[in-house]
Chains A and B, each alone.
Chain A
Amino acid sequence: MSEAEAVRVIGLWASPFVIRVLIALKLKGVKYELVEEVVGKKSELLLRSNPVHKKIPVLLHHGKPISESLIIVQYIDEVWSSDAPAFLHADPYTRAVQRFWAQYVDDKGTDDGGKDQAAEQLSAALQLLEEAFVKLSQGKHYFGGDSVGYLDIALVSYVGWVKAVEKIAGVTLLDKAKVPNLVAWADRLCTHPAVVDAIPDADKFVEFSVTYGSFSKPIINGPK
């Protein structure tokens, strides 16, 4: 079995949860094979590998499946612990804060609130994340400080969609005036070598949304 065959990701390029896993693997320099699902039709491999939720992403490591994106990211961090800086901070308290905000990001990201409420809630959430960034980065580039960390990975995965929503709805969410640090962080992180290929241009996400109708449901919930 080749090195790449040992690590496979079942996913779809447009899913923020899949994007997380790809970024994590790229940061650790791990070669992998992406097995792309077809929207609207779940493969046998997916159903076998994640029988409980039948959702992407699934990481297959030497055939053993791991599901749930943040669990996968932690697994990658622990298995390839000697490659690249750790995603989770060495200090348990900082780790707890990173985990808290990652959970917050997912609670807000998968919120099924009404459209009008959604923009308002997202704005409020971004404001809190702006403050969290200032505290956690301590003047450095990332939530993780000098290196891309757990919370960076969790949050940047949504940026492609946020930019797509800005285009579709004609709103500014990543507003330089309101969340300057987050805007700078997003611009910086999206050009990082481990991220740039994992997050295509906003137009691609817009196109996806046009092709498949709702932009959030098929992605957030995985292909049905």
Chain B
Amino acid sequence: MAGGDELKLLGFWGSPFVLRARLALSFKGLSYEYVEEDLKNKSELLLQSNPVHKKVPVLIHNGKPVCETQVIVQYLDEVYGANGRPSLLPVDPYDRAMARFWAAYIDDKLLSSLMMMSMGKTEEEKAEGRKQSSGAVETLEGALKECSKGKPFFGGDSVGYVDVVLGGFVAWVRIIDRMTGLKIFDSSKTPILAAWLERFGSLDAAKAVMPDVQRLVELSKMRQV
């Protein structure tokens, strides 16, 4: 693309959704300006760019805003789909439908159960969260087996859409593990996912944007006060 292609990402360092967008940008090798938002004092730019939800992440491409994480990731994949940049979504329509299905599942079931588990208001709620997340993780183990067909990632040989979507939760999974002493991706129960977590987390493109786990633990403790 010719010069004058400007990418900006409005975000918050502790958000798994922002992390997802940053992972997509990182894996596609894209340069962008990152703007850290103070969520208690949202910028004019954020409020103007996402008037409906007023949330991060927001991708601003040549002044035009794109909102909602999965919409952002698909947009980046479509705009920067050629010239040797890796493609996140597969080519075959059925495989694409499967990738979208699992991405939706992660946001629907895994997210809600992890939130219940870590931020539930009562012990019962937290226990229910643990139960549900356990079920969700087991289902994802099956999904990874099916999608990867023995290869390292949901996307096969290389990182794909579902890897990026789940990747947004990697830091969060690590802090929940640290704070609860439990292992969400337990290698004895879900060995393939546990291996995926290590493998994904060690990729340069992931390490470049992964927030500091200790900082996240402190943030999480602050929120629970």
Contact = CB atoms under 8 A, between A and B. Distances in A.
Identify the 4 closest CB pairs spanning chains A and B, nearest first.
Answer: A78-B93, A96-B75, A92-B78, A75-B97
A78 B78 contact: no
Contact of B94 (A64, A92, A104): A64
B68 A75 contact: no
Given A92-B75, A128-B52, 20 more contacts: A61-B94, A67-B101, A68-B100, A68-B101, A68-B104, A71-B101, A74-B96, A75-B94, A75-B96, A78-B96, A93-B61, A93-B75, A95-B74, A95-B75, A96-B72, A96-B75, A100-B67, A100-B68, A100-B71, A103-B70
Contacts of B96: 74-75, 78
A99 interface: yes
Interface of A: 52, 61, 64, 66-68, 71-72, 74-75, 78-79, 92-93, 95-96, 99-100, 103-104, 128
Contacts of A66: 94, 97, 101
Contacts of A93: 61, 64, 66, 75
Contacts of B61: 93
21 contacts: A52-B139, A61-B94, A66-B97, A71-B100, A71-B101, A72-B97, A75-B97, A93-B61, A93-B64, A93-B75, A95-B78, A96-B71, A99-B68, A99-B70, A99-B71, A100-B66, A100-B67, A100-B68, A100-B71, A103-B70, A103-B71
Contacts of B139: 52
B91 to A, nearest CB: 10
Given A71-B97, A78-B93, A93-B64, A99 B105 contact: no
Contacts of A67: 101
B35 to A, nearest CB: 19
A67 B64 CA distance: 32
A95 B66 CA distance: 10
A79 B74 contact: no
B79 interface: yes
Interface in B55-111: 61, 64, 66-68, 70-72, 74-75, 78-79, 93-94, 96-97, 100-101, 104-105
Nearest to B61: A93
Contact of B68 (A52, A61, A92, A103): A103
Interface centre among B52, B61, B97 (most CB of A within 10 A): B97
Contacts of A72: 97
A38 to B, nearest CB: 25
A99 B68 CA distance: 9
B100 A96 contact: no
Contacts of B67: 100
Contacts of B104: 68, 71
A185 to B, nearest CB: 19
Contacts of A96: 66, 71-72, 74-75
B200 to A, nearest CB: 22
B74 A99 contact: yes
A92 B61 CA distance: 11
B147 to A, nearest CB: 13
Contacts of B97: 66, 71-72, 74-75
A74 B71 contact: no
Contacts of A61: 94
A124 B162 CA distance: 33
Nearest to B104: A68
